[in-house]
Each structure stands twice: as C-alpha cells, then as structure tokens.
Amino acid sequence: MSRVLVAMSGGVDSSVAAALLIADGHEVVGATMKLWGGDSDSGCCSVADVEDARRVAQQLGIAHHVFNFGSDFDAHVVEPYVAAHAEGRTPNPCVECNRHLKFDRFLRRATQLGFDAVATGHHARVVRHPAGGRYRLRRGVDQAKDQSYVLHMLDQAALARTLLPVGALTKAEVRTRAADLGLRTAAKPDSQDVCFITSTGGRHAFLGSRIPLRPGLVIDDDSGEVMGSVPAVELVTVGQRRGLGDAGDARRRYVVDVDLAAATVTVGPRPPMMERLAVGGLTWVDEPVAAGASVLVQCSAHGDAVPAVFDVDGESDGEVDGAGAGVRFEQPHRVVAPGQSVVLYDGDDVLGGGVALASASALADGRL
C-alpha cells in the first residue's frame, strides 16, 4: 500500500478520509496547512481547527504535522482576491487555494517527504479508466455536497497522486463513520467558503482595510433616475439583487452593470441574460474539448450545470476580443460575473474549466 499524506483541516470530512485510508492499509500521516494568520471564524483556519486535526490524528494513532504556507496563501489567494475586487471582478478564492496550495504546494511538500500520494476530504471522486489508465475527476456521490467544481484545475499528473476517500460517501455516511469511530469532529459544522472573511466584518471590512472602497449611485436602467446608493461599488456583482436599497416601490431590481470609473450601479427589473460566455485560463483534466462539442456548464459552486456548446472564435488566445474560447448556452443564461469559475462537464465527469472573461454589460446588451 501507499504512503499517504492527508490534508487534515480539522473538519469531519478530512478526519474520515484519514480513517478510511488507514482501514485500507495505507501508511497515513496527517498534516494541517496553516494558511491564514488573521481573524477567522469560518471553521477552517483557526487555532481550534489545528487542534481538532491534531487530536483526531492522535485518536487515529497517526503522526500529525503543521505546515505554515501563509506567505504562499497571501501571494496566490488573498492578494489576487483583493486585486480582483479593485478591478470589478468577482473571484473564487477557494479555487485558487486548491490550485496553488492544496494541490501544488502541499503536493510538492509531500513529494519532498517521500509520500506516494496526498488525500483530502473533498466530496469528489478520482476514477482510473481501465483502458489506457487515464484518470477522470467525477462528481461526489452526494450531489448536494459535491465539490468537483472547485477541483476542476486538477490534471492527469495531480490526479495520479490524489486520493479523495469520502467522495463515494454521502455527508450523512461520513458523519456516521466519524461517530462510530468516536472522532471529536463527528458533529462539527461545515466550514464556510472564504476562511479569511469573518461573519462579523464581512467583505466590506476586509477589503476596506486594503483598498479604497467608493460609494456609488444606483441608476434605473429604463428611466435613468437615481434610485439610491451603495456603500462600495467594488462589492457589487452583476446579477445581484440584495443590498441595493429600497426605492419605495417594492419592485425587485437586479444589477445589470457596474461602472467602477463612474461609481455607478445600473439596475433593471429582470436579471441580465446572456447567450455566449467568453472563458479564459482554461485547463483540462485530460484532452482539451473539441470546438463544437456538447457540454454541461456550471458557473457557481452551488449552481446547476446547464447544456451548452464549447466553441472557439478564431484562435483561442484567451482574450475577450471576439476571438477566443467560450460556451454558447442552449437557453439564455443569467450573466456570469467576470472572475467566476466556469466548469465544463460530461455527465458527472469534469472536463476542465476556466474563468469568465467577458464584460457582463456587453453580453447583456447582446454585443457578443
């Protein structure tokens, strides 16, 4: 059996992942990544989480280490997150954490220490095709907890050395396994998505301490009238409905455009829709998808995958100039904010993914 380094976050999923690998006969060691040194109340980066991971490792009878990757986390996750908001994009920090920390920095450390593979508690599955030995990344069995979306950047080299033991279990089954083993994390609540954004301060407090946040006017798309204001245009996302103030007429309004330079937010009575979405920074689990191929596209971690066609206008250079990669939806789709991850599936299999590039206003107006 293999020597496996398990990324133990202090949560129930990674605790059970380690237990399952031990039961399968692997030589298992646990390690917790200390990523964020600031305030955290999300349940994945606090001192208490490190202690939970250490105590679970002790219960399981395995060694436990703590790796301080704080500088890497700041450089590859926090700083790009701040820069994206300053430029009017809506980033996905969990994707970048997986890309740069859990399946790069952590994997490289495992190699240096002589481990054969790494494992995490993600709800997704790695499946090796019997013919040819190529690897597939597949949705977790528990569709409600599936995390394949945030792992779409994993390629063949990474998948060959990655184990995802809880992907074949439902969340209820994971908790039952933990309870049966008497693990201290059995009933621990799931962590929130962004570990460095506290529930008390929110994005406004976090970003406001790092970049200037400018108040903006809310403009009605039809009449051009000023409907109210927002405290920070950098925090407004296209398609957003909440947090736009009350115009006094009880009508729902959706953000259809954000103009950072003019500090204005344009709203309309209907969510902005799009037919084509330009996608850049594409990575593939295996071979690239051919232009014209039918795919399922998921544009948020908890969204539904919808039918689309992968297309390429001219040379796929990843730029939004009418000549790049993108997807054409079979039915009009709500506008996807620039910066969001766009993941392509074939059934339950992840094909690859990238980042939404096109400006929401251009798409909403039908110019692309």
Residues annotated as catalytic are 97, 195
Residue entry with tokens 């301490």: 209
Residue 323 neighbours by CB distance under 10 Å: 14
| Amino acid making up residue 269 | P
Q: How far is CA 99 from the centre of its chain?
A: 10
Q: Closest Cα to residue 355, out of 271, 260, 259, 283?
A: 283
Q: Closest Cα to residue 222, out of 257, 266, 178?
A: 266
Helix residue ranges per DSSP H, the chain: 12-23, 47-60, 70-73, 79-86, 93-97, 106-112, 156-159, 171-181, 202-208, 360-364
| 132 Cβ contact list (under 8 Å, min separation 6) | none
| 23 Cβ contact list (under 8 Å, min separation 6) | none
